[in-house]
Structure 1
């Protein structure tokens, strides 16, 4: 086999944690930690979410991770964080994603107190574009909030974290699961009534209000 053929068969991104130079910790979550890293194959900077298998003992927790991968790997949009690769070893599941160098929009808001009208307009337009794309593919995010909105080096907003996302192909009277972040939950979710893509639209309104004022309209 020629060197060219071997190179063509190599994955663009590594499929083992040893294929990456692990850097600084970017954040911690209930399921695991996120690190900045560099792919040895490509030299490209990425983010790696490392999910500890020891906390995936229940069927529900495992379903969260499986759903996140199944949904996220299908998505390609300028305002949605791209999932490059995923793999696992004996102790962890790894999700390799696009790196958003400036981190959470929540951090920027805390630094500034609130966003000026022009910044709020720009970020909100990008957010709406991303949500429209998700909804056009019948994907309900269910956890839109400032800490799940990331910024790239050139200040592009990216929607992240699809652990609570769900495929919504029709009205489902059984879709009553309470999930998400209380300050951003729509009334129908809080009331355990059937809900649809409109639940994300409610979260958009909460987010815009928070952009401009610095705090959500409802404190829970």
Structure 2
């Protein structure tokens, strides 16, 4: 495990300990095994939202289904933001589904950041197709960048295509 991977895993543990929401992946514990940090967390057997979209084979989702997923993601993100946490990598690959593919869970908090009150973040991180204009321009950012990514996820749910392609 590289230093960066260990840092991301420790960060994810710290963040997940603060969160308790039905639409955020549940953290159980962490432990060391052969010098590797292991994280025990909730299993989401339905795969990722990205996989779900890909399996649609261009068959658009019903508006009701889109709203069903979107509201859950929105509620989870609101919970995350009320704890002054930026996810910083919200995308369909980091949104997980239960076995019935009806309950969504935000996961992968490895590059998330805990803010202090009204502070902003400066490090450019995230997945290019989902990052906000201020991130692209190297400007300070806050929870609004996660909302931008949420809009990209909504577009992807509605069209089965990414809103933007990375160069």
- What number of residue pairs does the alignment pair up? 163
- Alpha-carbon deviation of 1:171? 3.9
- Alpha-carbon deviation of 1:62? 3.2
Q: Say if 2:108 is the partner of 1:164.
A: no
- Alpha-carbon deviation of 1:188? 0.6
Q: Is the 8 A contact 1:172 1:194 kept in 2?
A: no
Name the counterpart of 2:25: 81
Q: Is the 8 A contact 1:79 1:129 kept in 2?
A: yes
Q: Say if 2:98 is the partner of 1:152.
A: yes
Name the counterpart of 1:70: 14
- Alpha-carbon deviation of 1:119? 0.9
**Aligned-partner Cα distance in 2 for 1:102–1:69:** 23
Q: Is the 8 A contact 1:143 1:181 kept in 2?
A: yes
- Alpha-carbon deviation of 1:159? 0.3
Structure with larger RCO (C-alpha < 8 A, sep 6+): 2
CA RMSD of the aligned region, Å? 1.4
Q: Among 110, 128, 133, which residue is 2:74 paired with?
A: 128
Q: Deviations over 1:181-202 (max 9, x none)?
A: 0000000111110000111000
Q: Say if 2:134 is the partner of 1:184.
A: no
More strand by share: 1
Q: Is the 8 A contact 2:94 2:107 kept in 1?
A: yes
**Aligned-partner Cα distance in 1 for 2:18–2:141:** 23
Q: Say if 2:42 is the partner of 1:95.
A: no
- Alpha-carbon deviation of 1:64? 1.8
> Which one has the largest radius of gyration?
1
Q: Deviations over 1:36-72 (max 9, x none)?
A: xxxxxxxxxxxxxxxxx2xx2x3x4432222111111
- Alpha-carbon deviation of 1:73? 1.7
More helix by share: 2
- Alpha-carbon deviation of 1:90? 2.2
User: Mind listing any 5+ residue stretches in structure 1 that lack a counterpart?
Assistant: 1-52
Q: Could you tell me the TM-score, scaled by structure 1's length? A: 0.71
